Amino acid sequence: MKSVFVIGGCRSGKSSIALDLANGQDVSEKIFIATCQPLDDEMQDRVARHQADRGYDWRTVEEPLALTQAIGDNAKPGRVILVDCLTLWISNLVLADKTQDQIADKARELAEVIQKAPCPVILVSNEVGAGIVPENALSRLFRDAAGKVNQIMASACDQVQWVVAGIPVIIKG
């Protein structure tokens, strides 16, 4: 396995599936790249649960914006990298006043780094376009940017898994 894109709805089980994939790799080091900024109690609790689920054999790199650089800096033979999640990365970029075109450019740069990585890279993202059209411009910008980034990542990765109710369905690779 080289690169896997794990996508699904909220609470679909995609993070658990991605973690199982990463833990199944025969590697000497496991790197978790966290894009979350735990700014409130709920997110801090969620981060703590995710850390407990991963266990202590993971090294965590917190990077809310410079994801391409974080992967490039950590992609080495004998490692696996798990990024959770692209949706929060996109949200961080939107809140940093990046345009949809700028976010797509960053996603293309990310795709290049993933394709050149000398180790497996697993990416987690939410499918956000299956619901209703959001009522405000910021939400529509986020939805549109996430849809574009997801398309770029799905095209770039060797395998794509859609997770529904905790069941992974391979849709590519």
| Dist. CA 56–CA 60, nearest whole Å | 10
In this prediction, residue 121 carries a pLDDT of: 98
Q: Which of 2, 50, 76, 143 is catalytic?
A: 50
The sign of the torsion formed by the CA atoms of 135, 39, 161, 100 equals positive
| Dist. CA 161–CA 172, nearest whole Å | 7
In this prediction, residue 147 carries a pLDDT of: 96
Residue numbering of the annotated binding site for GTP? 8-15, 62, 84
Q: Which DSSP state fits 15?
A: H
* pTM beyond 0.75: yes
Is 8 strand, coil or helix?
Answer: strand
pLDDT tens track for 88-105: 999 999 999 999 999 999
Out of 16-25, 31-40, 106-115, 159-168, which region has the weakest mean confidence (pLDDT)?
A: 31-40
Residue 119: which pLDDT band, with cuts at 50, 70 and 90? very high
Mean pLDDT of 143-163: 97
Catalogue all structural domains in the chain, each as residue range(s) with its CATH number.
Answer: 3-172 (3.40.50.300)
In this prediction, residue 170 carries a pLDDT of: 97
Residues 57-92: b if buried by 16+ CB within 10 A, e if exposed: ebeebebbbebbebbbebbeeebbbbbbbbbbbbbb
Is there a catalytic annotation at residue 81? no
Q: Identify whether the C-beta of residue 64 lies closer than 8 Å to the C-beta of residue 88.
A: yes
**Percent of the chain that is helix, strand, coil (3-state, to 5):** 45, 25, 30
In this prediction, residue 81 carries a pLDDT of: 98
